[in-house]
Chains A and B, each alone.
Chain A
Amino acid sequence: MTSDRANQQRQARDELCEALGVRLSGQINCALTGPDEVLLVRLELDQYRPAAETLWDRGLDRLDFLTCVDWRDHFTLTLQVYSMDSGAVARLACDLPRDGVPAPTISDLWFLANWEEREAHDMFGLIFEGHPDLRRILLPEAWEGHPLRKDYVDRVGIERPQYF
């Protein structure tokens, strides 16, 4: 039973890799990530939207998360989706510069991406091109800065003990 499911997932993963390769004319970097064995596809920014469309067309219609990681010299935009039918999971990661280069929106495909993109905009200052309603979501409109950036300076200025 379990190995059946694992086989099915492996097969779905191979098919996904192939479909992505066809759509993006072979220039992709598909790999299984280390500990959790998820199909991780590293992309250029202009490949992000076509790759997401491919995943959507292949039936990966459940969104796990969309987020951003600040690596100090660049951002990594990460999207993970999975399929209810085959159980296949795919994670897209694309690097983009920190200075306001817009990323394409995917909120017209995955319904939940709407608020996830607003959150990434709120916390990192990312701009999503084509988003219908790109406002701050958790912080007040007048908030200055984007708190989850690594260079964010907390204006309240509480002295925090350093245990480690």
Chain B
Amino acid sequence: MSTIVIDHLARVEGHGGITVELEGDAVSNVRFDVFEGARLLEGLVRGRRYDEIAPIVSRICSICSPAHCLTSLKATENALGVQVSPQTDLLRELLLRGESIQSHALHLFFLAVPDYLDRPSAIAVAAEHPAAVMLGLRLKRLGNLIQETIGGRAIHPVNAVPGGFGRVPSADQLIAIRSALIEAIPDAEAMLDLIASLPDAGFCHTPTAYAALYSPDSDRYYAGDQLMIVSNGDRATVPAADYRSLTNEQPVAHSHAKHSTFNGNPFMVGSLARLTVNPSRITEGSATASGRLKLSIPSDNPMDNNKAQAVELVNDLGLALDMVERLIHDGVKDEGCVPVTPRAGTGVGITEAPRGLLVHSYTYDDQGCVVSADVITPTAMNAASLEQHLRKTVEQSAERDEATLKKKLQMIARAYDPCISCSVHLIRR
């Protein structure tokens, strides 16, 4: 027996590794190891008041902190029977677009692209291609501008609270975002050119099931309460409240991330899953982008998640501009927050974080304090699917030398854009 070990995965968020055990050329075992410490935040929020929960659980992960914050608020508001205004819904959607722009730009330019160019880091890429790295930095900065303006801070937003926002953005702030989004139109084109120019990475092919928030008539990261899984052309919807029938998590010894399966089969969440589940998201602009990147949906190649992120980045920029135009046109009202009256109840919130489906669920007592909490993150949902793709990568590789196999394994892991802090989530069974 031989073993391939990547003991500390670089250019991802958090601490994880990969172990592949081989009997000759046959793969006997594959593990995506997570050694991020367990923070047990679920246990620690128990007894805390409804208005303290989102800021604590947003600390699960920095890159996805707006998604954690807003998913937490959505679950809490569902539990406490709070209905927020359409303006709040729109601002929350815009905040998640900002998050996605920042996150996808960070992942594509700083974490994923260096592999395709055989460089260890974006800093090394910058030595030869400074314009490419500066392009990534500009797109990233634009995502952060939206997050700072709407969320009050780029990382761990402070402005989003139960019932609405502390302070809504001013007209001047929205106009500044609009100008930045208009200036970014050529950057989006240049980004597509760059991604289209990368060498092909089609070394792992296998039919894959995909799951995402289902939004039949519109493109939403925030609103919606239906999940959909697409597998072998079959589509099944699951109401948010029944999320456990989708996730069906199992703890595993080698990882603090539980593994999710649907009917015993792994599924993938994230950009590629969103495009597969919601064909209505393929707008004219994103169809052109998909064509330029030669991305066809459904895909059997997990590396296509990188292309799907590029398509989404174009989509996010366009939709953010539409939303900002609408807010400027309608005017943003300083409407204050919807008052919250504590009551006992359970609420589930589902959204699309940059890395995929995110679920929070809380049960509150009649004082509005948490009795139990459950958080299921995209990276935890992806763990079983990632292991399956790591296995296929080794099985399908014609080159058997360890260096090549290691490089392919790392590229697959990075294509999932794992957020390992996130994966260490904290479920109460």
Q: Do A and B originate from a single complex?
A: no
Chain A positions within 8 Å of B, measured between CB atoms, are none
